[in-house]
Amino acid sequence: MKIEGKNQVLEAIKNDVTINKILIDKNFATRRDDVINLARKNKLKIEFLPKKLLDAQSVTGHHQGYIAETVDFEYCSVEDILQNPKSTDGAFVVLLDGIEDPHNLGAIIRTCECGGVDGIIIPKMRACQVNETVVRTSAGAIANMKIARVANLKTAIDTLKENGLWIYACELGGENIFKQNLTGNIAVVIGSEGNGIKQSLRDYCDGVLTLPLKGSVNSLNASVSAGIVIYEVVRQRQNDK
């Protein structure tokens, strides 16, 4: 897999992502450059190439003169996510049911990292996996985020419940999210862009949270919804102190 963009490559180096080599625009070779300095400090292989060759190597078309060739993204287990929560308020996990757009997935990862989410759980089938576009859209946040890929989201929910988490589906027809207590150990499920959360998975959750909508459109973009939900949890945790 390729990680493209200056900030993305820099975050990958800082977080010890396994990098085979870094391709850098040859015009940057004589610059005082954070990526070059850190790569050399970590004894990583660097190749300086003309921009045309970098363009040919690029998957996203937005490399900014930096491409890191890495091993495939390393997913973790659900149990790994639950180890050492980032907040003293308890574990905070986000499950994604069938998010297919890599830009949405990358944006959600970025918001999760900023909001102190402990980890993200995605299904193996009928959903976007971590790829170059996801990495770029996350703006480097993916290097700091645990992501588990599971065969069955219900089984993952069972594990979360066994560890004391309350699970909430974020969907129409539920309770107003701003009137619910979202402190403590919690997991939220965000549905796909077109179909929302599967009914069977919704019924498996402890409750349903709904964002009040004031316009004529009856839904929000998945990454926008995720951002609002995540930061409502953050807000309540801060106010609870």
Residues 186 and 211 both lie in one domain? yes
Residues 207 and 231 both lie in one domain? yes
Could you give the CA distance from residue 34 to residue 14 in angstroms, rounded to a whole number? 11
The structural domain count of the chain equals: 2
Residues 109 and 29 both lie in one domain? no
Instruction: Give the CATH number, domain containing residue 48.
Output: 3.30.1330.30
Residues 90 and 164 both lie in one domain? yes
pLDDT at residue 15 in the model = 83
Q: What are phi and psi of 147, to 5 degrees?
A: -130, 125
pLDDT in tens, the chain (241 residues): 899 999 989 988 988 888 899 999 999 988 889 999 999 999 999 999 999 999 999 988 889 999 999 878 889 999 999 999 998 889 999 999 989 999 999 999 999 999 999 999 999 988 999 988 998 899 888 889 999 999 999 999 999 999 999 999 998 888 999 999 999 999 999 998 778 899 999 999 999 999 988 877 777 889 999 999 999 999 999 876 6
Could you give the CA distance from residue 134 to residue 81 in angstroms, rounded to a whole number? 20
Could you give the CA distance from residue 20 to residue 71 in angstroms, rounded to a whole number? 7
Among the candidates 45, 70, 95, a domain finishes at 70
pLDDT at residue 61 in the model = 87
Residues 103 and 218 both lie in one domain? yes
- Length of the chain as a residue count: 241
Among the candidates 42, 70, 98, a domain finishes at 70
Among the candidates 27, 42, 70, a domain finishes at 70
Alpha carbon distances (Å) from 194 to 99, 157, 197, 198: 9, 22, 9, 11
Could you give the CA distance from residue 205 to residue 156 in angstroms, rounded to a whole number? 12
- Residue ranges making up the domain that contains 121: 78-239
Strand order in the sheet with 186-191: 146-150, 119-123, 92-97, 186-191, 166-176, 207-210
> In angstroms, how far is CA 182 from the centroid of its own chain?
21
Could you give the CA distance from residue 175 to residue 207 in angstroms, rounded to a whole number? 8
Residues 49 and 92 both lie in one domain? no
* Helices (H) then strands (E): counts for the chain: 9, 10
The closest alpha carbon to 1, from 110, 129, 191, belongs to: 129
Q: What are phi and psi of 11, to 5 degrees?
A: -65, -35
Instruction: Give the CATH number, domain containing residue 190.
Output: 3.40.1280.10
Is this structure's pTM higher than 0.85?
no
The closest alpha carbon to 205, from 155, 166, 178, belongs to: 166
